[in-house]
Structure 1
Amino acid sequence: MPSISTYDSALLTANVLDDENASANGALYDSKGRLLVESVRAVDRTDSHIPGDPASVPRPSAVVGHYNHPGYDTYIDEAIFGGHIFAGWGHTITETISSAWASTEVPQEVPLVMVPWGRLWVSALPRIRETMALAGWGDRPLIMTVGTAVFGKVHVPERLVRFDDLLHRGASIPAEMNAVYDLMIGRSTLSDPRPRIPTFLARTRGHRRAHPYEEAIEAALAERGFRVVEGWDLGVREQIALINSSSCLVAFSGSSLHNSVFAERSIPVLEIMDNRASSTSLVERPLQAALCELREQPFTRVQGYDNGQARTVPDVVEEVMGLCVSLA
């Protein structure tokens, strides 16, 4: 069972973003000024360095009597620290909701505090909030802060998914995360089951890693009977319901394919690699494999390039079609 820790008189430092290095230095500290490692996104225990926070040096102790502390922006009597909110969908359905298992451990009236990571668009907030509610947080009060906050009492649940650990260390995802995904599926799927058909999960147009033939491959699969899901145009429940009715899931690398967590167990998942140096990308991106292992789904990578050259549309499509049949 994951753990949840409770601290009195904790200090949340300001979340100052460093866009160039994709990091930030906000974190929770206890009343003696000690870093609470549960509050940071990545923990490298091999050298005691905490990426994203200056953890290698002692932090000045929080001032006793936080009510009169001149350096904080907000005082919160009691809260749950749930981690970080992201504009990116892949981070939302992996990291952001990975503390939602703790929703039943703390009374519903206790607010949830989340820290935005990067710039959030106002238009994205309703979708993020809906996702968090489906994951178990429900209509619990939500406080988002980037400033310094002092807590009379703060509950800090273990985050089941740490993106950096998955990307760079090949960590596995605890089985307890299944309960979060199963809850979201149960709250989204229709009582009248939809027919199961193969599904291609599209990426937004102009993706920074776009394959030269990406849209052509998508169109060719649609002609062969694939349903194309453009998740950014759907409500969260509708998106989950469509994915859950898939017989095979296919997408290019990235957050679109992370939606496989909402497919049924045993459904084949195919990742079309978008990296020219595909031989190294197998090591560099273990996240999708970890998600499929968690959900007990057969997972296969389809190379998008051959010796640095983009594979042709028929070549990729025929391989995809054959794998969807053979892995079913």
Structure 2
Amino acid sequence: MVVDISALANEAIDLLDQSKNENYRICVLIVGPPGSGKSTIAEELGRQINHRFKEYMLQSNQKLSNYGARSEASDVALASDIPEITGSLSKELKTNGGILPKYVEDVNFQSVKRKLDNGDLQIFGRGGLPNAFTVTNNLEPDEEPLIAQIIPMDGFHLSRQSLSSFQDPQESHKRRGSPPTFDSNNFAQLCKTLAQTCTIKPGFCDAKSCFEFVTKTYDPYFPCIKIPGFDHSLKDPTPEQYCLDGRTRIVILEGLYLLYDQENWKQVHEILQGTGSLLVWYIDVEDHITEERVAKRHFSSGLTDSIEQGRLKFQENDLLNARLIRRNLVQSDKVVTLRND
């Protein structure tokens, strides 16, 4: 059975339509074990939604107006509840090249913020600067508006430098991709900040269709969130790879641990569900199918020298992580399970 992505796009747009008077944007969670196809599904979902919006704009001769109905964004101070960085923590960050060796395994570390010279706020957790996200009003919009954007969890992989600061660095590198090897602290903080932007109320508009409403309530002054991605060639996070600004009305978050009910991960679903504008899809696939998919992916990406080595790597790491989340999955009647065999 293959996921009907067109139907998922309909659901996401319908939720945006239902929520549009109260929520400036909505979120979608796509979760599944390694090899389930969640990244491919997320990318195609975003592509289809953006294509439909682009077609609407072309057919209706519409464009985003800088003079649309202003949202309540100016009344919301993003990151206001995040404490400022202390002098000692700032010194440690500088001394250690942007990471925090003392705190890298501390899942209770509270994210902190610091103000940059250009006025931006940079927020980071136990992973330090590699996993930081930035809140800014200094915008340089691309020409083509994308109302749907994908935010992979991968940008919150702890850097290799951080993993080397673990008490057992050999094990941390070997088990990279397991829950402790992500900056769950700052990912949870990102979700809190995203949730704030979801519940910002758009300006008044009497538009009938969802896309017309989106066009006429675009707020060019809406705060922008810059989020790290992951460079598979460098095997490390890349700063500010994604930029969510006022044009983004559907945020698609995808990753392995977004429904994991342990440590900081257990906050993700609760935080985003609290916005009243969330869809959650869990992609379920048999282990023998994901093993072949992941083994081939490991081989093609150069992580292993053969597909057989890829299978071994899957069994020693990916399969353990998949079984872990199945045993510790958030229980909610809002989670919809999809097959993608």
Is TM (by shorter chain) over 0.5? no
More helix by share: 2
Q: TM-score, normalised by structure 2?
A: 0.26
Q: TM-score, normalised by structure 1?
A: 0.26
Q: Return the index of the structure with the highest Cα Rg.
A: 1
Q: Which has the higher contact order (CA 8 A, sep 6+)?
A: 2
